Structure 1
Amino acid sequence: MSESARLHVFKTYKLYVGGKFPRSESGRVYEVTDAKGTWLANAPLSSRKDARDAVVAARKAVGGWSGATAYNRGQILYRVAEMLEGRREQFVREVADAEGLSKSKAAAQVDAAVDRWVWYAGWTDKIAQVVGGANPVAGPFFNLSTPEPTGVVAVLAPQESSFLGLVSVIAPVIATGNTAVVVASERAPLPALSLGEVLATSDLPGGVVNVLSGRTAELAAPLAAHQDVNAIDLTGAVADESLAKELEIAAADNLKRVLRPRAEEWATEPDIHRMTAFLETKTVWHPTGALGAAGSSY
């Protein structure tokens, strides 16, 4: 059969929830176009039910992921970088289409995203030493502070940086032991949905990262109000101040940690603030000179 006569197989993009690839429960899709308006694919149009299902999956994964050793989490994040490197050309093509970039500029963004995964992989077993430590106190006590993950974090991915920005908001959340429900860029969700395929084959336990595509405002509202979501990153709402304010008010109902949106230059060197934003500090007191005595914490 000649090349011109064969029927091409068009990819069906799906959500990534709980380590599986479901379609939206509503059955809805929406058209995704490139920067010039040319149709690229249909993406799932997630519903509120999909958002709730993603939270359930993320909650189930918290215990195992937060309980894993920091070294093991680092190994898994590094494996993600390896898998991304192996699919580099696919992501270069998707980023170029999504953001209207030349192939060379798209390649630079993909390479930076892979490097960023490696950077955060290296921090998994070091962040506790940087933000924890022994505290000087008056009295015969040891006083130690250690960071712990917040839990389930809802992440509104950047709207304009469909891959480098996406990686920059997901990696720090899971590096510290949290699980994530990610709302992909509304206009350019395909790199995020493809990232789900990488995560599924990189030893990352199902439910640690869950990827939804669709209308950002429609999905963000139930996540901000959800009582089983512990924190929310509002980066994807930076261009909509009224939406960001509504989400922050909804998040206050169960005292969620909120990372407020701000203008970001994703190509700059990262720092640790996105990791510390979703960490809690546990302080433990223990009497000195009394081995085996029960300590107390708060």
Structure 2
Amino acid sequence: MSERLSVAKTYKLYLGGAFPRSESGRTYPVTDSRGKFLANAAQASRKDVREAVVAARKAFGKWSGATAYNRGQVLYRVAELLEGRREQFIAEVSSSEGIQAKKAQSIVDAAIDRWVWYAGWTDKIATVLGASNPVAGPYFSFSVPEPTGVVGVLAPQKSSLLGLISVIAPVIATGCTAVVVTSQDRPLPAITLSEVLATSDVPGGVVNLLTGHTAELAPWLASHADVNALDLTGAPDELRADLEASASGTVKRVLRAAEEDWAKQPDIRRLRAVLETKTVWHPMGV
């Protein structure tokens, strides 16, 4: 008998809780660390970026308006589903990054643990980052952290899962929504994560994942007027200055994180980076 041919997969984007093809109809091959073909991934276009931002903006009101406790429950449910697909993530991280299964297992476990860490912060953000301010006069003054809005995220290029989760989890834990450009050459764990999100309680549009060429998509994300913040973690070094200049045109918050910054321990500063502080004054006795 002749050897059976495997059925090559062609994956789609994840926008607004659905899995559409790229508007351009383009795909590109994804290979493992040795150059062996793994699958085809959708190659997102400028219009796909716009559609992702529309979906993220539409989802922002409901997600930011949910109670912090509820957001924590939703994120914990994602961690449960990540645990359930642990073996698949191990296989994909191993093939994508060219590492042994044992090391891939430790990376996947660290990624799930990091997701849980940020999930635990949802109902603590206001307590830790908010304040009751001392004032001279018959007033109360409170500072309250609020989500910035839609955050554009350029995911780390070298870390296909742990780096990805390190930049997504803090964004949505704060109540923001995200448009994420995944690792260009290692998108498969991100695609599997999108399948996890689609079957979880995370509302459609809270996280939107775009596969494709980072250098093509990043400028459109940086210049988009309805994107409120930009995380440059996975941006190519030669594009960073231009992306910052473009982001300044719409007065975006810019997180100037380096490619390796995701590898550090989970950090509350990533939460603070996508939050704005509102200070409220109120007279006493009223």
Using structure 2 for the length normalisation, give the TM-score.
Answer: 0.97
After superposition, the C-alpha distances for 1:266-290 in whole angstroms (9 at most, x for unaligned) are 4442110111000000000000122
Shift in Å, 1:210: 0.1
Instruction: Give matches, 1:147-162, under 5 Å.
Output: 147-162=145-160
Shift in Å, 1:7: 6.3
Alignment partner, residue 293 of structure 1: none
Shift in Å, 1:50: 0.4
After superposition, the C-alpha distances for 1:114-171 in whole angstroms (9 at most, x for unaligned) are 1111111100000111110100111100000000000000000000001000000000
Alignment partner, residue 33 of structure 2: 35
Alignment partner, residue 111 of structure 2: 113
Shift in Å, 1:9: 4.2
Structure 2 residue identity aligned to 1:244 = R
Which of these residues, 248, 255, 258, is aligned with residue 262 of structure 1? 258
User: Matched residues in 2 for 1:241 and 1:160: separation?
Assistant: 14
Alignment partner, residue 281 of structure 1: 277
Contact 1:13 1:44 in 2 (8 A): yes
Partner SS, residue 146 of structure 2: strand
Distance 1:231 1:82, change over 3 A: same
Structure 2 residue identity aligned to 1:126 = K
After superposition, the C-alpha distances for 1:191-243 in whole angstroms (9 at most, x for unaligned) are 11111000001110000000000010111111100000000000001xx3330
Which of these residues, 66, 84, 87, is aligned with residue 85 of structure 2? 87
Contact 1:152 1:231 in 2 (8 A): yes
Shift in Å, 1:14: 1.0
Which of these residues, 219, 228, 233, is aligned with residue 221 of structure 1? 219
**Would you say how many aligned residue pairs link Structure 1 and Structure 2?**
286
User: Matched residues in 1 for 2:97 and 2:121: separation?
Assistant: 30
Alignment partner, residue 169 of structure 1: 167
Contact 1:98 1:162 in 2 (8 A): yes
Shift in Å, 1:246: 0.5
- Structure 1 residue runs of 4 or more that deviate by more than 4 Å after TM superposition: 4-9
User: Matched residues in 1 for 2:8 and 2:31: separation?
Assistant: 15
Q: Does 1:272 align with 2:257?
A: no
Distance 1:265 1:147, change over 3 A: closer
Shift in Å, 1:264: 2.4
Contact 2:234 2:258 in 1 (8 A): no
Q: Which moved more, 1:10-19 or 1:157-166?
A: 10-19
Partner SS, residue 246 of structure 1: helix
Alignment partner, residue 229 of structure 2: 231
Which runs of 5 or more residues in structure 2 are unaligned?
Answer: none
Contact 1:112 1:267 in 2 (8 A): no
Distance 1:275 1:76, change over 3 A: same
Q: Does 1:139 align with 2:137?
A: yes
Aligned-pair identity in percent equals 70
Contact 1:80 1:199 in 2 (8 A): yes
Which of these residues, 66, 90, 104, is aligned with residue 64 of structure 2? 66
Structure 1 residue identity aligned to 2:63 = W
Which of these residues, 100, 103, 112, is aligned with residue 101 of structure 2? 103
Partner SS, residue 235 of structure 1: coil
Shift in Å, 1:77: 0.5
Which runs of 5 or more residues in structure 1 are unaligned?
Answer: 291-298
Shift in Å, 1:8: 4.4
After superposition, the C-alpha distances for 1:65-86 in whole angstroms (9 at most, x for unaligned) are 0000000000010000000000
